[in-house]
Amino acid sequence: MQLATQVEPTFGGLAFRPETKRAIRALGWTQPTPIQTRVIPVMISGKDVVGQAQTGSGKTGAFAIPLVERLNATVRTLQGLVLVPTRELAIQVTDEIRALGRESGFRVVTLFGGQSIERQFAELRRYPQIAVATPGRLLDHVQRGTVKLGGATMVILDEGDRMLDMGFLPDVSRILSQTPSSRQTALFSATMPTAIHAIAKQQMRDPVWVRIATPTPTVETVEQFYLEVAEEDKVRALRSLLNKEEIDSALVFRRTKHRADRLARALRSDRRVGVLHGGMRQGARLQALRAFEEKRTPILIATNLASRGLDLPEISHVINFDMPEDVETYIHRVGRTARMGRAGTAITFVGQFDLEIFDQLKRNLGSSLKRHPLNLYS
Ligand code: AMP
């Protein structure tokens, strides 16, 4: 006889409203991830928090659950604001907040550049309680008077380091200056450069710091290979891998959008291949993402755009066609596979110009980085 297991998932014993509990259950989440365990109680208590965590850690849920728990869905004012660096992340974060807050009756608006501002006006007229926005477009709305931030009592800065890299900090500061000084602020960032510490100091009140060890790809979860291949033979090597490896879905990283396009052209005859980079129009990017998610094009050639922030489930392979710029980028890219405990394979091409970074990689990863058995030159 089998004993009945827990009837009601407790989600770490955290006490939520019934609507939130049901939403969590509907998402199939039974246990909070480490960042959720640590961040949710702090945010629900109203304190500021700085969380060092990567995409894949469940950090969106860590702030989305407190948003829908603390804000009031019956009031028709914008109370929650999430600032994100990219459109893709904006869409993903919106989806997750919507899923968690729908039953409570929250309206969530997404505001990013490249999308018709009229459509955004229309959504704003429906009085959303929560906005997920990229900084530039949000400022545009604030200046037009179509978004008022005077009621924003909870503000989340997601992927702070990436917003910093993209030059959004002045915009972020201007946005924060429009919000009440009594607001609660949460800042999430994968890395903590000095400028991020400075924001925490200037813009936050006595924040609680939560650091979740970087989910560095480990030998148990990701098999990491390198493959020495001359620049001019890389396409041949990739074709060979794509035919030999058992690929469920793969991200193939290139350093620039032009190189990504060039590789996509070279592989045009392979119908499994799609491409995604920042130079594409918004509609085309979303189409590429969708085709990849639905496995119509299970092999996606991408720039670093896809290495952070995007929640692409179930990637079996990460192929670094171009060597990542540094070890951190490598970790981000490889972190796209083997997420939430799934197994994955990472293969990094080492060309004749990549030896310096390859040395650094070997020093950081040690014996977990193995030579790939493929031999092009025998
Ligand atoms: P994130 O780091 O927020 O991008 O989340 C990574 C993925 O984990 C997303 O697909 C989430 O839907 C999923 N996720 C978040 N929290 C949980 C949880 N507690 N249990 C299972 N999956 C989760």
Residue-wise pLDDT for 231-280, tens only, equals: 999 999 999 999 988 888 999 999 999 999 999 999 999 999 999 988 88
For 106-124, b/e burial (b = at least 16 CB within 10 A) is: bbbbbbbeebeeeebeebb
Same domain, 114 and 230: no
Question: 34 lies in which domain range?
Answer: 18-211
Complete edge-to-edge strand list for the sheet that includes strand 80-83 = 108-111, 130-133, 80-83, 154-157, 184-189, 49-52, 208-211
Same domain, 189 and 293: no
Residue 244: per-residue pLDDT: 87
Backbone angles phi, psi at 192, to 5 degrees: -125, 65
Which tokens sit at 45?
């208590």
Same domain, 166 and 252: no
Pocket of ligand 1, beta carbon within 6 A = 29, 31-33, 36, 55-61, 311, 340
What is the position in ligand 1's atom list of the atom closest to the CA of 33? 19
Mean pLDDT, the chain, whole residue set: 89
Same domain, 205 and 264: no
The whole-number average pLDDT for the span 26-37 is 89
Gap between the Cα atoms of 304 and 21, Å rounded: 35
Q: Is pLDDT at 65 greater than 90 in this prediction?
A: yes
Same domain, 254 and 167: no
SS3 of 212-252 = CCCCCCCCCCEEEEEEECCHHHHHHHHHHHHHHCCCCCEEE
Residue 5: per-residue pLDDT: 42
Least confident of 29-33, 47-51, 139-143, 324-328: 324-328
Distances (CA, A) of 167 to 138, 207, 232, 259: 15, 24, 35, 24
Residue 7: per-residue pLDDT: 42
- 10 Å CB burial of residue 371 (0-12, 13-18, 19+) is exposed
Same domain, 313 and 250: yes
Gap between the Cα atoms of 312 and 347, Å rounded: 18
* Domain limit, last residue, from 180, 211, 242: 211
**Which positions ≥6 away from 269 have C-beta within 8 Å?**
none
Residue of the CA atom closest to atom 5 of ligand 1: 58
pLDDT digits (tens, 9 = 90+) for 79-130: 999 999 999 899 999 999 999 999 999 999 999 998 999 999 999 999 999 9
Q: Is pLDDT at 331 greater than 90 in this prediction?
A: no
Same domain, 185 and 243: no
The whole-number average pLDDT for the span 214-223 is 60
The whole-number average pLDDT for the span 327-334 is 80
pLDDT digits (tens, 9 = 90+) for 160-207: 998 998 899 999 999 999 999 999 999 999 888 889 999 999 999 999
Same domain, 234 and 171: no
Confidence of residue 309 (pLDDT cuts 50, 70, 90): low
Same domain, 195 and 230: no
Q: Count of CB atoms within 10 A of residue 151's CB?
A: 16
Same domain, 169 and 252: no
* Domain limit, last residue, from 145, 179, 211: 211
Same domain, 193 and 297: no
**Which positions ≥6 away from 47 have C-beta within 8 Å?**
184, 206, 207, 208
pTM: 0.65
Residue 2: per-residue pLDDT: 40
- 10 Å CB burial of residue 194 (0-12, 13-18, 19+) is exposed
Q: What is the whole-number distance in angstroms between the Cα of residue 93 and the centre of ligand 1?
A: 11
Judge whether 118 lies within some domain: yes
Give how many domains the chain has, as a whole number: 2
Looking only at the bridges linking them, the beta strands covering 154-157 and 184-189 are parallel
Residue 6: per-residue pLDDT: 39
Give the 3-state secondary structure of residue 318. Answer: strand
* Domain limit, last residue, from 182, 211, 240: 211
What is the position in ligand 1's atom list of the atom closest to the CA of 11? 19
Listed in sequence order, the DSSP H helices in the chain are: 18-27, 34-44, 59-70, 87-101, 117-124, 135-144, 160-165, 169-177, 194-203, 234-244, 257-266, 282-293, 327-334, 355-365
Q: Is pLDDT at 338 greater than 70 in this prediction?
A: no
Residue 18: per-residue pLDDT: 93
Same domain, 192 and 267: no
Judge whether 6 lies within some domain: no
Judge whether 80 lies within some domain: yes
Backbone angles phi, psi at 184, to 5 degrees: -95, 135
Q: Is pLDDT at 23 greater than 90 in this prediction?
A: yes
Q: Which residue has the tokens 């005077």?
A: 150
Judge whether 191 lies within some domain: yes
Ligand 1 mutation pick, 33, 91, 162, 337, max ligand atoms within 8 A of CB: 33
Residue 190: per-residue pLDDT: 86
Q: Is pLDDT at 230 greater than 90 in this prediction?
A: yes
Q: What is the whole-number distance in angstroms between the Cα of residue 140 and the centre of ligand 1?
A: 31
CATH code (residue 163): 3.40.50.300
Half-sphere exposure of 368 (CA within 13 A, CB side): 17
Which tops the pLDDT comparison, 45 or 364? 45
Residue 330: per-residue pLDDT: 86
Gap between the Cα atoms of 317 and 246, Å rounded: 9
Q: Is pLDDT at 347 greater than 50 in this prediction?
A: yes
